[in-house]
Amino acid sequence: MENIISMNDMGKDEILDILELARKIENCSEEEKLKFLHGKIISTLFFEPSTRTKMSFESAAMRLGANVLSLPPVSQSSVKKGESFTDTIKMVEAYSDVIVVRHPFDGAARLASETSKKPVINAGDGSNQHPSQTLLDLYTILEEKGALENLQIAFVGDLKYGRTVHSLVKALTHFNPTIYFVAPQILQMPDYLLEDLRKHNIKYEILEDFRGCLDKIDVFYMTRIQKERFPDVEDYEKVKGIYIINRENIQKKCKDDMIILHPLPRVDEIDKNLDNTKYALYFKQARNGIPVRQAMMMTVLKKDKEFFL
């Protein structure tokens, strides 16, 4: 793969290759890892706020021996002077071996990949796609459940604007899941994604209450109601805080080996009294971003073939 922009571009084998490479990287010593991208420069262009994704990519690169260039805050960059997105990409291309892009507009990462001759990795574009989050989600599920096939998964919260959900649902079409979409009607999954599931003969149910599937599911994927994505703040006020999980409504009501995932950050949708339970995997999930994003960078730079024959 020359770029990693969308899960729509990745087949089952390509997904599994990255997950296997992440496992191999994780099993290497820190000293070995420093050789993998030694002398390479990774540029992180984040046009919207991020903590985990930005720091995870930068940490992943540094732990492989690469140097990192980070776009200054937009208010301090040439974007503030009116420089176009494509001109920014062309300039950064000259300084970098890989460009990692996050942007508030759908399709921005694709445009970057069409502009740059250097590999581009999408770190989230609008409400569209977030492939690195999807791959670390799959890696976490695989590590915890031992398989990706035939799982029952509930997605709860903001399913309309949630790019993490959109990406992961697309990837799961390769693994024959049963999916439960739990959201108020105004935040339900977009029709085009449901149509894709029907095309792939994936079973799904539309629900408004997670208690309707809690005793069946292997993975509970909670998401934040994203205030910043709502065009009308009044619509946000109608649904904020609609789903909150805690020990009282989860323990002894779910399967014993169910896991709870969340792309983070959370607000109030997961009570902290769940953090120390066996179900809570969201912080481990975030840590898994390191080997997975390392595998992504090595793949686009074709270093996987050099170090892991």
Annotated binding site: 52-53, 81, 102, 130, 133, 163, 224, 264-265
Under 8 Å between Cβ of 181 and 207: yes
- CA 217, 218, 220, 221: dihedral to nearest 10 degrees? -120
Place of tokens 């969340």: 262
Q: Known catalytic residues?
A: 52-53, 81, 102, 130
Q: Is 164 helix (H, G, I), strand (E, B) or coil?
A: helix
Contacts of 3 (CB under 8 A, 6+ apart): 9, 113, 119, 120, 121, 300
Contacts of 273 (CB under 8 A, 6+ apart): 246, 247
Residues tagged in the binding site annotation for carbamoyl phosphate: 52-53, 102, 130, 133, 264-265
- Distance in angstroms between the alpha carbons of the first and the last residue of the chain: 17
Under 8 Å between Cβ of 280 and 262: no
Under 8 Å between Cβ of 92 and 72: no
Residues tagged in the binding site annotation for L-aspartate: 81, 163, 224
